[in-house]
Amino acid sequence: MTANAISSNSRRRFLWLSVALSVAALIQIFDAWRSPVIARDGMRFIAIAQELHRPREAFAYFTQHPGYPACICIVHRALGHLSDGATVGSWVWAARLVSGVFGLGCIVAVWLLTRGLVGDLAANLAALIFAVLPIARLNAADALSDSGHLCFYLLGAWFLCDAVNGRGTWRYFAAGCCSGLAYWIRPEGWSVALVGGLFLGFELCRSTLLSRRQAWRGLVLLMTATAIVSGPYVLLSGKITDKVRRKENLVKFSRHLKQADAKSPSKETPSAHIEQTGLPLTLGGAASVLAAALAQLFKNILETYQALLLPACWALLPNNKFRFPAGPARVIWGLATLHMLLLVGLFITGGYISERHLLPILGLSMPVVGAGLLRLAVDFAIIITLLGKIGTARRGRPWTLAFFLALMIVTLLPQALRNSHAQFVPDLAAAEWIRQHKRPLDKVITNTPYPLFYAETSGKCVKQNEDFGRELAGLANHRVLVIVQRKQKQPPVATAIAFDSDNHTTALEFVAQCKFRSKTHEVLVYACEPRIAQTADNAQRRIQR
């Protein structure tokens, strides 16, 4: 093959990857412009980034891993000469820029992983689909760590699969480095090293796919690289992770497994029960929570997969020509299984599973989706040929492939372009009002953190409206601005009574609202003047008269 032919093949190979990256970049820019409010976790990441000038104290204090905040800090400093570094807006855009770059990196990782397993054409399809996948694009346009973790996680999976497939022992070391970098962002980043270690340990015992020498060398390289990259965080913070929520629930869970209670089970749903009481008190309750965790997991998988479900299932049909190589298949299934077990554990300790937590499973499944879409197009081209609509299946294959790809893109794209935090736009308006009208000595109490964050002011954030009165009681001598976020079902009178105080008189100063999913979301700002100050002012006026 001539040099010109090789160059032409390379250009064609990377053409569709470039198209996917361009489409994803445009979607992310549009999403960031359309959604001025970031996720709540994004505020925590920015707070960590602002404290990283003291790394040891920050690592030990914050529960979030510091990899993503460190990237925010670096980008913010690098772009400091282009904007005012003192504003919260510069931090928000630095965080979004980091997420956006990692989001594009995820597409490259999906393309590499799919190409290594099922070929160039399936890789191009997987990259194009992932470029318009709503959950991936919305997270990449937000201030969240998921895209960064997913990028290194999938790169680690790619290196590990290639190493197992015999494409270079050095790839074990690269997989360990990627796993360590993913761990710096999220604790489940160690999954690649853990699954790879279990696979290689099994090969040391059974030697079914690799020789014992290859398995031993790969295990040493994988674990050494992981320890080198992730070790500094463990040494600086003095911990492996703080991400297990409600740790006392684990103790209750193990204790109550041994003490079966004869009481009748609660009529509440398991998910509602765990949100209110943590964990059940009976063995039957424990089983119900495990069942609820699995139900929530598969419900989220079905909701997140949407249009991906058909090609994924088509690729896994019996007697299909699509097959993973044996070694990489075990790695992929091992990673997916481990991540699902981690999500079940998250439900037990935290009471929830978010859709964005499914991103690693989605990324790992993209080779199956790409191969399934390709196989779907081939099979339907054969069917159309048998019906006599076209001459040969070979001629019809590009048309059926284009049809199914366009159908998936049209289905996914509108959801990828939606405003992800539209319900919090009134919070942004309240923050602007606070910025303009707050006096230096005023105190702020709120049940939503967004106004404090965007107004760049301090205050107290309460969990329930009933807590407003207790907080006001301790601020009898201060003017207090009370910010209340509520939905349509909460009447204004009930909200006003919730923080009524004998020490203050209350006046409604500002209201902002919006419609979101057929409900009215509004934020109200009340000015609570101290009665002591009013009494003193009245006395002063009487003296002057």
Per the CB < 8 A criterion, the answer to whether 151 and 130 are in contact is no
Type and span of the H or E element at 155: helix 146-164
What is the DSSP code (8-state) at residue 387? T
Per the CB < 8 A criterion, the answer to whether 75 and 179 are in contact is no
pLDDT at 81: 62
The encoded tokens of residue 521 equal 């979301």
Per the CB < 8 A criterion, the answer to whether 69 and 52 are in contact is yes
Q: Residue 512: beta bridge partners?
A: 523
The residue type found at 499 is: F
Per the CB < 8 A criterion, the answer to whether 420 and 137 are in contact is no
Per the CB < 8 A criterion, the answer to whether 46 and 95 are in contact is yes
pLDDT at 346: 85
Please list the alpha-helical segments (H only) found in 325-392.
Answer: 326-350, 359-386
> CA-CA distance, 235 to 233, in Å (whole number)?
5
Across the beta sheet with 519-530, the strand order is 460-461, 443-446, 480-486, 519-530, 504-516
The encoded tokens of residue 386 equal 């048998």
> CA-CA distance, 443 to 446, in Å (whole number)?
10
Q: Quick count: other Cβ atoms within 10 Å of Cβ 115?
A: 21
Mean pLDDT, the chain cut into blocks of 10 residues (545 residues total): 50 87 96 91 91 70 84 89 72 95 97 93 94 94 95 97 91 96 94 95 88 92 96 80 53 45 41 45 65 84 84 80 82 95 85 87 94 88 72 68 90 89 90 92 91 92 78 84 78 55 82 82 89 56 49
Per the CB < 8 A criterion, the answer to whether 430 and 525 are in contact is yes
> CA-CA distance, 127 to 124, in Å (whole number)?
5
> CA-CA distance, 253 to 268, in Å (whole number)?
18
The DSSP bridge pattern shows strands 480-486 and 519-530 to be: antiparallel
Domains of the chain: 245-420 (no CATH), 422-544 (3.40.190)
Type and span of the H or E element at 446: strand 443-446
Per the CB < 8 A criterion, the answer to whether 273 and 255 are in contact is no
What is the DSSP code (8-state) at residue 186? -
Query: pTM here?
Result: 0.86
- Sign of the dihedral defined by the CA atoms of residues 48, 50, 51, 54, in that order: positive
pLDDT at 131: 96
Task: Give every CB contact of residue 291 below 8 A, 6+ residues apart in sequence.
Answer: 270
